[in-house]
Structure 1
């Protein structure tokens, strides 16, 4: 039997993109090829809405883990490819069943055929009955069409592909297909998840981190860089810019009400982020704010903070609660790093009773007491940018 091991890879919502579908698929495939650089493969080819990677099956677990992290990929399946000949298909079906049985206890199964090539002489229901007969004769499995232990999938295309697993990817859109954003990345749980979710929608993400050195130390900075490195597994390489917010916090402390510290600090952050975004040609700012979670995340606070910039501010977590955000953090691998107990700039000079319903005119009046332009320009000029990959 001539049997070839391949990874069968399915696109997600890219199939709905109409005239732009081809460009989206090309972008996703480029991302997959980049993700697979550590593992050589024989060939990658498209066939009727899917693409296939021919490689050493011993490398499949690591390759699958890399491919499923590429946004735009709906699912990945380790499969075998054979010719459209019934004896070869039967041997392939029994081969994948034996492979699956070696991994787990199987009592029930269901055959599921997709016949994209309508010239194939048997219909999908006819193929399902044929496959079912082969499996029943060769194993002690029984048929369960409602909740089987194993599905036996047969895709009839230019060739025939047989497999028993569908490993879900993160779907979404390929990174780089939906503009460029600048993520305000702290050391907490929320902002890495926000960056992940926007990259999943196709946005190319860079990171901007604010620290308050020497009140926050090098270990705190390294923690955030580690979060950026974890994110880069999904986003690809990113620019990481670090800015010292301490001079602005000291100016606020000396000239303004303690209760305004959080709101005024956030407005400084947005001013600086806008200038960094201009410098790096980033179209939007991304934050990890969730409505009502802390003082600066009330509707009133967000309104006052937003008024300092004309740049689009995207808050992908705004309607999620902490439990939902934490589940995502665990899923993408940032949680254990996020909870490491290091200070960040948001906890420096934290007021005991921060404003939750600030008024724009009062905040702007307080800002008149400071040299906003000089403070912001100095912060931008002294920013340090590195590449994270």
Structure 2
């Protein structure tokens, strides 16, 4: 106990306080004193040496003591960690990773809750540059710090987009892109045994993310689409991106496939009937199969 008391005194030196409290927890129940007895003895020593008052309810300073089988740990500060669950205990998800700010944060929030993330990225090279491909691999590497070895599926999407542009009404283009991405992603989810899709969508952030449009996009999916950021605004998402280390990569300029051939006036409240009619000229099964036949994959981390 002498060593514990002296070490506790050293720990509180240099701190500003008028009152203090000692809290003790024992994992080694064979220690000769109980937790309240340790707290009382150490607390009395600290009060005697510093002149501080004891305050059990609202102290200026708390000294924590943890007694284990071989050691005693003493601290006066608690640093908030990330928290969460071990990766994989909550199952596997397929994250639609765009290269922007939002989807990496959505991925991180699912990883934090114990989901193992597999990634899928749609790109429109050669109509866009390769920057989005490079960014997605870099973002997956950052997320692999928590997600460990991570599989990234890359889907060439340019030809499919051209088909949509030439055969469907302009206001529905982006929604039809998203529905086709969802169909393809769902097939890939089956390949990797993922139980849900994950997107970085936030309610009403852009035209395709109104409540009505989100409903019409997910209507063609047979597995859940999880949207961890649905109720967060951009400032909150940016703060998280900065905290997890993806913001600088996400904000490097790149051309996103969904920004290709964007109509001047996109539909903000498309109905299921309107989208079904817009897709009536498309051979959906053939388009999905073509995309899957050209699928590439990379392992990172």
The alignment's TM-score, normalised by the length of structure 1, stands at: 0.71
Match of 1:326, SS?
helix
Match of 1:127, SS?
helix
Q: Where do residues 224-243 of structure 1 align in structure 2 (5 Å cutoff)?
A: 224-243=136-155
Match of 1:195 in 2: 107
Query: CA–CA distance in 1 between the matches of 2:32 and 2:205?
Result: 60
Match of 2:280 in 1: 368
Match of 1:162, SS?
strand
Q: Name the structure with the higher strand share.
A: 1
**How far off is 1:251 after superposition?**
0.7
Question: What is the alpha-carbon root mean square deviation over aligned residues?
Answer: 2.2
**How far off is 1:201 after superposition?**
1.3
**How far off is 1:321 after superposition?**
2.0
Encode CA deviations 1:37-89: one digit per residue, 9 max, x unaligned: xxxxxxxxxxxxxxxxxxxxxxxxxxxxxxxxxxxxxxxxxxxxxxxxx1232
Indicate which of 205, 208, 225 corresponds to 1:296: 208
**How far off is 1:181 after superposition?**
0.5
Match of 1:89 in 2: 4
Q: Where do residues 92-171 of structure 1 align in structure 2 (5 Å cutoff)?
A: 92-97=7-12, 101=14, 105-107=15-17, 109-118=20-29, 120-136=31-47, 146-148=58-60, 150-164=61-75, 165-171=77-83
Encode CA deviations 1:11-51: one digit per residue, 9 max, x unaligned: xxxxxxxxxxxxxxxxxxxxxxxxxxxxxxxxxxxxxxxxx
Q: Where do residues 367-386 of structure 1 align in structure 2 (5 Å cutoff)?
A: 367-386=279-298
Match of 1:356, SS?
coil
Query: CA–CA distance in 2 between the matches of 1:330 and 1:238?
Result: 21
1:152–1:162 CA contact under 8 A, matched in 2: no
Query: CA–CA distance in 1 between the matches of 2:104 and 2:193?
Result: 21
1:345 is aligned to 2:260: no
Query: CA–CA distance in 1 between the matches of 2:16 and 2:83?
Result: 29
Query: CA–CA distance in 2 between the matches of 1:317 and 1:157?
Result: 41
**How far off is 1:163 after superposition?**
2.4
1:186–1:344 CA contact under 8 A, matched in 2: yes
2:131–2:255 CA contact under 8 A, matched in 1: no
Q: Which runs of 5+ in 1 are unaligned?
A: 1-85
Aligned length: 298
**How far off is 1:117 after superposition?**
4.5
**How far off is 1:220 after superposition?**
2.4
**How far off is 1:272 after superposition?**
0.7
**How far off is 1:347 after superposition?**
1.0
Q: Where do residues 308-319 of structure 1 align in structure 2 (5 Å cutoff)?
A: 308-319=220-231
**How far off is 1:188 after superposition?**
1.4
**How far off is 1:136 after superposition?**
4.5
Encode CA deviations 1:309-358: one digit per residue, 9 max, x unaligned: 20221111112222222222122111122122211112111111111111
Query: CA–CA distance in 1 between the matches of 2:210 and 2:72?
Result: 53
**How far off is 1:128 after superposition?**
2.3
Match of 1:88, SS?
helix
1:223–1:337 CA contact under 8 A, matched in 2: yes
**How far off is 1:130 after superposition?**
2.1
Q: Which runs of 5+ in 2 are unaligned?
A: none
Encode CA deviations 1:200-259: one digit per residue, 9 max, x unaligned: 111100110111111221222211221111111111111011112111111111011110
The alignment's TM-score, normalised by the length of structure 2, stands at: 0.90
Query: CA–CA distance in 1 between the matches of 2:37 and 2:90?
Result: 43
Match of 1:264 in 2: 176
